[in-house]
Structure 1
Amino acid sequence: MGATARRSWLTLVVVAVLGLITACSGKVGENGRFGVVYMDAQGFYAGVKAGMRQESEALGRAPQLLQLNAQGDASKESTFVDQVSAAKVDALILSPASATASVPAIKLAHDSGIPVICYNTCIAEDKAREYVSAYVLGDPVKFGALLGDQAGDYFRSIDNSAPTIAVVNCEFVEVCIQRRQGFEQALKAKVPDATIVANQEGATIDEAIDVAERILTAHPDVDAFYGEAGGATMGAVRAVQARGKKTVVFGSDMSTEAAQALADNTILKGVVDISGIAVGKLAARAADQVRRGELTTYTVVPAPIDLYGKPEQGREWLTMHPDGVP
């Protein structure tokens, strides 16, 4: 099969078999088509999908969604973007896997006349201003600062003026670096002698468990973990549980497991969260505005940030999210 034939066949495959969702009756695709990329399979992205569907239904123009879980792989993302660009979707909505490696794919979509909407993560700002129409973003520095402030209050409450903190990170994306910066600034404003004793990558739960266990071996008396993302948070919680340590965890991204751990109030002492549902709604709205010519220049769309710092808030979250979709 020649290159042109392969390209045509792949385009047909995208249109025919990638996760298609139509939220209302009628001919498939009659309200347009969006290409959607989820960075991985964590619960946040299930919330994004649900939010996009809900907002599209509310707007009365629910598009067909062509979807990909990129699994953090910029090459998979690039192949998908190439396919949906050839299929001439009405918008590309994605959380890019890399601030740099994702640039060529996003440029391709832009050059193909397809509006690009980033959410959660994006490419470097100078390139985003050139190729991206909108970026749905919860301020990452504020995100980290809310949790750093919570951690500072906790350590003051137990009279620990010089706590040691280990970070389990997702710093292959810029927003996670900014989350840590916000966390450290707010923490040290409350407890100036706090010390970061380790900072290692562990974005998924399995990776984070291994990383947290190694950190606990090297620093058996570490006072707390800071998890920069959902997998990092719950991996640290599980590692502490397995070791029977008194170490506590401050983390990111609400989920059923996180809410249960917060309600238990033994290990997890605070969670900061940007609702995937809220982000999905904002992304769908931005895509619709771009499609109708109401949004014509690069725009940062602020997403709300929530802090959960009490056991009863964990229980409330479980009641409000019985399906576990954040």
Structure 2
Amino acid sequence: MKLVTRATMLALGIIAAAGLSPAFAQDKDLKVGAIYMDAQGFYAGVRKGIQTGAADAGRKLNIIETNAQGDASKESSFIDSLISSGVQAIIVSPVSADGSSRAIRRAYDAGIPVVCYNTCLNDADMKEYISAYAVGDPYDFGSKLGNAAADYFIAEKKDAPKIAVLNCEFVEVCVTRRKGFEDALKAKVPGAQIVANQEGAVLDKAVSVASTMLSSNPDIDAFFGEAGGATLGAARAVKSQGKTGQVVVFGGDMTTEIAQELSDFTVIKAVVDISGQGLGKLALAQAIKSVDGQAPADIKVPYDIDVYKSSEDGKAWLKAHADGIP
């Protein structure tokens, strides 16, 4: 079992010396740092989930937050600011499994529990410096989408589809997503081929890269977008290149725009999603437990993965997320 952090032990000691119960500590306000990896809609959902989770837990939350913009140096600088400001916990989706370790270790050394969500550090550093990791299993994420893609190709009687990937593989979870996708797809459709794989996680870049892929590989049958920007970018490229009805998209991460495309069902055929709000709530719950000296014995705390693969699914998502926050 992971040891209680030094800061928590000290806090509990002070409480005991004052003759107060641990419940008193749990009623106090929380000062938490939250770091979002980029500006995609998923992180707006995480933010709302953190805020809602605080209200549900009966805690007043003072959240200090930033967007790392995919930059490990910005992430590192903000973690140092959070340490100096005296936060009680840090919630973060690390930019790099290896490159983010030093900054997170500084928080650990300062006695501040760190909770990962969505992405985390390499296994060795995660076990050493992380209190909890709220995550939807990335292999299962990819596998569910691979199965949906396989079912589509079987129904279309395409036994050797050619697929292009728009990736976010600067983070390890996206590499694992692709492995799950390929394994599930090829188990049902052995002739399936990945004919291109390039980075395109941000929407504007994804549109550009996908357009180039379509020009270079005119026989592409489908795109796999490993994250939200890639999914929507691929769909927009297909439409702008006049490939609607010829090329389809399977992707990750629901947003209003992606749900609208799924509802239309001419290009996007399936989306796999981990709720940003749900994951934010889970991450905050684990941060509160860590502050209270109750970090989980198993660092990885799983969260459900949803599959949407019909026009009706897209419409239902839009109705359930009228505010547009995933």
TM-score when normalising by structure 1: 0.90
What is the identity, as a one-letter code, of the residue corresponding to 1:156? I
What is the identity, as a one-letter code, of the residue corresponding to 1:89? V
Moved segments of 4+, more than 3 Å: none
SS in 2 for 1:244: coil
Shift of 1:297: 4.7
Aligned 8 A contact 1:49 1:277 in 2: yes
Work out whether 1:197 is the aligned partner of 2:195.
Answer: yes
TM-score when normalising by structure 2: 0.90
Shift of 1:293: 1.1
SS in 1 for 2:184: helix
Work out whether 1:67 is the aligned partner of 2:65.
Answer: yes
The CA RMSD over aligned residues, in Å, is 1.1
The structure, 1 or 2, with the larger RCO (C-alpha pairs under 8 Å, 6+ apart) is 2
Matched positions, count? 298
- In structure 1, the partner of 2:225 is 227
What is the identity, as a one-letter code, of the residue corresponding to 2:37? M
Work out whether 1:174 is the aligned partner of 2:169.
Answer: no
Shift of 1:298: 5.5
- Quote the Cα distance in structure 2 between the aligned partners of 1:298 and 1:291: 16
- In structure 1, the partner of 2:235 is 237
Please list the CA deviations of residues 189-208 of structure 1 after superposition, one character each: whole Å capped at 9, or x if unmatched: 11000000000000100010
Aligned 8 A contact 1:40 1:72 in 2: yes
Shift of 1:32: 2.1
- In structure 2, the partner of 1:289 is 289
Aligned 8 A contact 1:133 1:297 in 2: no
- In structure 1, the partner of 2:84 is 86
- 1:127-142, aligned counterparts within 5 Å? 127-142=125-140
Aligned 8 A contact 1:133 1:298 in 2: no
Q: Indicate the percent of aligned positions where both proteins have the same amino acid.
A: 54
- In structure 1, the partner of 2:48 is 50
Aligned 8 A contact 2:89 2:287 in 1: yes
- 1:1-326, aligned counterparts within 5 Å? 31-245=29-243, 246-295=246-295, 297=297, 299-326=299-326
Aligned 8 A contact 2:224 2:250 in 1: yes
What is the identity, as a one-letter code, of the residue corresponding to 1:257? E
- Quote the Cα distance in structure 1 between the aligned partners of 2:122 and 2:205: 26
The runs of 5 or more residues in structure 2 that have no matched partner are: 1-27
What is the identity, as a one-letter code, of the residue corresponding to 1:37? I
Shift of 1:108: 0.4
- Quote the Cα distance in structure 2 between the aligned partners of 1:289 and 1:123: 20
Please list the CA deviations of residues 239-268 of structure 1 after superposition, one character each: whole Å capped at 9, or x if unmatched: 000001110000000010111100101000
